[in-house]
C-alpha cells in the first residue's frame, strides 16, 4: 500500500502506556494491520496526525507515547468504533471505513475504561460475551473454562466482579475480549493500575 | 438479527435488574403507591359538603327547603348561625364550604306567590367543588320551586297541571358516579408510562457512563439486537405492573371490568412497547443517567398525567391544548382503557385509538433504532 513516510512509533514516546496488536493466524497474506495517513480531528483539535504503519501477522506491535498522543484514538479507529477524519486502514484485510461491522467479529478489543459488568458474576460476564459472539454448546463451555483458567478465577466463578481485585478484573476483561478466539487483538493499556507482579503475569 | 445475541443481552439486563434492588423496588413500589394514593385519597366526587345555615325565616316553608338540602347526598347541614359574622367564621375556618341564608320574608313571599330569595355563599377557593356544589344547589331549588308553583296552582283550583318537562336522567357506565371508576383505569396508562420510560431511560446511559458500552460496540452485536434485548426484561416488568393494577382494580377498588381482558392486555402490550422505546430513545440521546431520568420524567409523566384525559377532561381544555393532546400517546390509551373498562366496548368502537397506539409504538421503536449508533462521537 503506498504511503507517505510517517513512522508512527517514533512519535509516541513514554514508556508507561502500551498497546499490543498481536496477530496469530490471519488469513491475509503478510499484514494483519495496514494503516495509511490515518487522521482524526475533533473540531480543530488533531488527535491523530496522519499516522502510517503496518503490522505483520504474528507480530506484537506496541504504541508508546505520552497522554494525549493519540494511542487510544488510533485503536478505536482500528476497532471500527470511531470514524477516521481521513486516511485509510485495513484490519485483517477489511476496510475500517466500510467494513467495520465485519472487523468487529474478527477482533478482540479491551478498552482502557473498565469494561466488565460489576454487578454480574465472573461466570455471567463470560456467558454474556460468549452469547454476543454466538458461541454455542461444547465450544462455549470449553472457552469458558479456558477463560476461567487463564484468569485464575476457576475457584471464584460465582463471585460478583465488583469484589475482585484489580489484577483479576483485568485478566477477566482480557478473557471476555478474546473468548471468541479472534485472530487480532487490540489491548488499550491492559495493565494500568495493576501491580508489577500481576503485570508480569499478564 | 441473531436470536442468541438478543438472548444474551436480555439475560444480562435481567441480572442487572435483579441485582439492583432499588430499580426493582421502584418498578413495584411506584405503581402500588400511585394506585393506593389515587384510588383511596383522590376523589373528585362532591358529597356531604359541610353547610352552615342561617334561617331568618324559621318557618315550615324554610325548614322544608333546608331539609331538602340536608336530605340530599351532596350537602350536610352541620351548624346553624345567627349572623353573618358566624357564617364568615365557619367558612374561614373551613368548617363549612357553603352557607345558606333564608331571608325572614321567605315564607311570606312564597305564600303570596311572589318570588322568594335564598342566599347561597360558596367558598370559591376550591373552585371545582364550589362549581359542583352550586350545580347541585340550583337543581334542588329548581325542583322545590316547581313543586311550590304546581302546588299553588292546584290549590287555587286551576286545571291539573303537569310539569312541562320531566327529565329522567340515567348515568350509563358509571351509575354511582364513582370517580374511582374512571381514575383507576386511566391510572394504568400513567403508571405504565412512568415505569416504562423511567426504567429504560437508564439502561443505555448507564453503559455509556460505566464504560461498558465502548466494549459492547466493539463486538458484532447489532443495534436491533441490543435494543430488543434490553427491552424484553422491562417489557416483562411492565406487563407485571399492568397485571398488578388490574388485580388491585378488581379486588381492592372494585372497579368493574366490563370489556375483554385479552383486548386490554394486547393494547397494554402495544402501548408498553411504545413507552419503553421512548425511554430507550431518551437513554440513547442523553448519555447521562441524571439527565435521562429528568427528561423521561418531564416528557412522559407530565403529558400522560395532565393531557391524557386521565383526570382532567380533554373536552374542557382550550383549543390549543386540546390539539396538543392528540400528540400524547397516553391519550389514546386512556380512552381505550375507559372504553374497555367502563363501557365494555371492543375494537369495533376503539379501532382508531388502537391504530394510533400501534403507529406510536412502531414509530418509537424505529426512532430509537435510528438514533442508536455503534460509534463513539
For the stretch B70-94, pLDDT in tens is 998 889 999 898 999 999 999 999 8
A136 neighbourhood in chain B, CB within 8 Å: 4
Task: Domain B49-155: state its class.
Answer: alpha beta
Contact B20/A at CB under 8 A: yes
* Beta bridge mates, B53: B80, B100
State the DSSP code for B301. Answer: I
CB of A161 closer than 8 Å to CB of A169: yes
Domain extent listing, chain B = 3-42+178-371, 49-155
From B8, B19, B375, residue closest to A132, measured CB to CB:
B8
- Contact at CB, A117 and B12, closer than 8 angstroms: yes
- Contact at CB, A131 and B219, closer than 8 angstroms: no
- How many Å apart are CA A193 and CA B28, to the nearest integer? 40
Q: Could you please report the per-residue DSSP string of A36-87?
A: EEEEEEETTEEEEEEEEEEEETT-EE-----TTSSHHHHHHHHTTSS--SEE
Alpha-carbon separation of residue A112 from A18, A73, B163, B356 (angstroms): 10, 11, 88, 46
**Site from B214, B223, B230 to mutate, A interface, most A CB atoms within 10 angstroms:** B214
Cα end-to-end distance, chain B, whole Å: 24
Tell me the average pLDDT of chain B: 87
Helix B223-251 and helix B179-200, axial crossing angle in degrees, nearest 10 = 160
Residue A188: phi and psi, rounded to 5, are -105, 110
State the DSSP code for A15. Answer: S
- Find the residue in B nearest to A182 (Cα): B219
Give the three cell numbers for residue B206. 448507564
From A76, A119, A128, residue closest to B8, measured CB to CB:
A128
Edge-to-edge strands, sheet with B98-102? B75-80, B49-55, B98-102, B119-122
Contact A111/B at CB under 8 A: yes
CB of B216 closer than 8 Å to CB of B226: yes
Contact B217/A at CB under 8 A: yes
pLDDT in tens, chain A (202 residues): 444 333 333 233 333 334 444 433 334 467 889 999 999 999 899 999 999 999 998 888 989 888 888 899 999 999 999 999 999 999 998 999 999 999 999 999 998 777 899 999 999 999 999 999 999 889 999 999 999 998 889 999 999 999 988 888 888 999 999 999 999 999 988 776 666 666 666 6
A130 neighbourhood in chain B, CB within 8 Å: 8
Checking if the pLDDT of B207 tops 70, the result is yes
Q: What is the mean pLDDT of residues B349-371?
A: 88
- Contact at CB, B11 and A128, closer than 8 angstroms: yes
A110 neighbourhood in chain B, CB within 8 Å: 215
Residue ranges of alpha helices (H) inside chain B are 3-19, 21-36, 60-71, 84-92, 106-111, 127-155, 179-200, 203-210, 212-216, 223-251, 261-286, 289-296, 302-306, 319-325, 329-338, 347-371
Interval B19-70: pLDDT, tens: 988 878 888 888 899 888 888 877 667 788 999 999 998 898 899 999 999 9
**Site from A41, A80, A103, A131 to mutate, B interface, most B CB atoms within 10 angstroms:** A131
Stated as kind and residue range, the H or E segment containing B49 is strand B49-55
* Beta bridge mates, B99: B52, B121
- Tell me the ipTM for this assembly: 0.82
- Find the residue in B nearest to A99 (Cα): B220
Contact A24/B at CB under 8 A: no
From B5, B15, B220, residue closest to A101, measured CB to CB:
B220
Domains within chain A, CATH numbers bracketed: 9-98 (3.40.50.300), 122-201 (no CATH)
pTM: 0.78
Between A and B, how many residue pairs show a Cβ–Cβ distance under 8 A? 80
Q: Give me the pLDDT at residue B99, please.
A: 93
Q: How confident is the model at residue B183 (pLDDT cuts 50, 70, 90)?
A: confident
Contact B162/A at CB under 8 A: no
- Find the residue in B nearest to A132 (Cα): B5
Checking if the pLDDT of B286 tops 70, the result is yes
| % of chain B residues with pLDDT over 70 | 97
- Contact at CB, A119 and B375, closer than 8 angstroms: no
Amino acid at each position: 500500500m503506498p504511503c507517505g513516510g510517517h513512522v508512527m512509533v517514533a512519535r509516541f514516546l513514554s514508556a508507561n502506556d502500551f498497546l499490543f496488536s498481536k496477530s496469530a493466524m490471519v488469513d491475509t497474506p503478510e499484514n494483519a494491520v495496514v494503516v495509511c495517513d490515518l487522521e482524526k480531528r475533533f473540531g480543530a483539535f488533531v488527535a491523530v496526525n496522519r499516522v502510517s504503519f503496518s503490522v505483520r501477522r504474528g507480530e506484537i506491535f506496541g504504541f508508546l507515547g505520552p497522554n494525549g498522543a493519540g494511542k487510544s484514538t488510533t485503536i478505536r479507529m482500528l476497532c471500527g468504533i470511531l470514524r477516521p477524519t481521513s486516511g485509510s486502514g485495513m484490519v485483517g484485510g477489511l476496510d475500517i471505513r466500510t467494513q467495520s461491522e465485519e472487523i468487529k467479529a474478527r477482533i478482540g478489543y479491551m478498552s482502557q475504561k473498565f469494561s466488565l459488568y460489576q454487578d454480574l458474576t465472573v461466570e455471567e460476564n463470560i456467558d454474556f460475551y460468549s452469547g454476543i459472539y454466538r458461541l454455542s454448546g461444547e465450544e462455549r463451555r470449553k472457552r469458558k473454562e479456558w477463560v476461567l483458567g487463564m484468569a485464575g478465577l476457576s475457584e471464584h466463578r460465582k463471585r460478583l466482579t465488583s469484589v475482585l481485585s484489580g489484577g483479576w478484573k483485568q485478566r477477566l476483561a482480557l478473557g471476555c475480549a478474546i473468548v471468541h478466539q479472534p485472530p487480532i487483538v487490540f489491548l488499550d493499556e491492559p495493565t494500568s493500575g495493576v501491580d508489577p507482579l500481576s503485570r508480569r503475569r499478564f | 438479527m441473531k436470536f442468541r445475541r438478543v438472548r444474551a443481552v436480555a439475560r444480562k439486563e435481567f441480572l442487572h435488574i435483579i441485582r439492583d434492588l432499588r430499580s426493582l423496588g421502584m418498578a413495584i413500589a411506584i405503581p402500588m403507591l400511585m394506585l393506593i394514593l389515587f384510588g383511596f385519597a383522590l376523589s373528585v366526587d362532591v358529597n356531604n359538603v359541610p353547610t352552615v345555615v342561617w334561617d331568618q325565616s324559621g318557618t315550615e316553608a324554610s325548614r322544608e327547603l333546608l331539609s331538602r338540602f340536608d336530605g340530599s347526598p351532596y350537602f350536610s347541614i352541620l351548624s346553624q348561625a345567627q349572623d353573618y359574622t358566624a357564617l364568615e367564621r365557619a367558612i374561614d375556618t373551613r368548617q363549612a364550604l357553603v352557607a345558606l341564608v333564608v331571608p325572614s320574608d321567605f315564607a311570606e313571599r312564597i305564600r303570596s306567590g311572589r318570588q322568594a330569595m335564598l342566599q347561597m355563599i360558596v367558598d370559591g377557593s376550591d373552585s371545582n367543588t364550589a362549581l359542583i356544589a352550586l350545580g347541585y344547589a340550583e337543581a334542588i331549588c329548581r325542583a322545590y320551586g316547581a313543586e311550590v308553583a304546581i302546588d299553588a296552582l292546584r290549590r287555587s283550583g286551576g286545571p291539573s297541571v303537569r310539569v312541562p318537562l320531566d327529565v329522567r336522567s340515567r348515568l350509563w357506565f358509571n351509575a354511582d358516579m364513582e370517580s374511582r371508576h374512571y381514575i383507576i383505569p386511566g391510572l394504568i396508562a400513567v403508571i405504565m408510562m412512568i415505569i416504562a420510560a423511567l426504567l429504560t431511560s437508564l439502561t443505555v446511559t448507564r453503559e455509556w457512563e460505566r464504560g461498558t458500552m465502548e466494549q459492547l460496540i466493539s463486538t458484532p452485536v447489532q443495534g436491533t439486537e441490543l435494543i430488543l434485548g434490553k427491552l424484553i426484561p422491562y417489557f416483562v416488568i411492565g406487563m407485571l405492573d399492568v397485571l398488578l393494577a388490574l388485580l388491585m382494580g378488581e379486588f381492592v377498588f372494585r372497579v368493574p371490568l366490563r370489556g375483554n381482558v385479552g383486548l386490554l392486555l394486547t393494547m397494554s402490550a402495544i402501548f408498553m412497547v411504545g413507552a419503553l422505546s421512548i425511554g430507550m430513545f431518551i437513554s440513547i440521546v442523553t448519555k447521562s443517567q441524571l439527565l435521562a431520568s429528568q427528561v423521561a420524567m418531564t416528557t412522559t409523566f407530565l403529558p400522560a398525567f395532565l393531557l391524557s384525559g386521565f383526570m382532567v377532561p380533554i373536552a374542557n381544555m382550550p383549543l390549543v391544548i386540546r390539539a396538543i393532546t392528540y400528540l400524547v400517546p397516553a391519550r389514546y390509551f386512556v380512552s381505550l382503557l375507559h372504553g374497555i373498562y367502563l363501557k365494555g366496548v371492543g375494537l369495533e368502537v376503539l379501532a382508531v385509538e388502537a391504530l394510533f397506539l400501534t403507529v406510536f409504538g412502531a414509530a418509537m421503536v424505529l426512532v430509537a433504532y435510528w438514533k442508536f449508533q455503534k460509534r463513539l462521537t
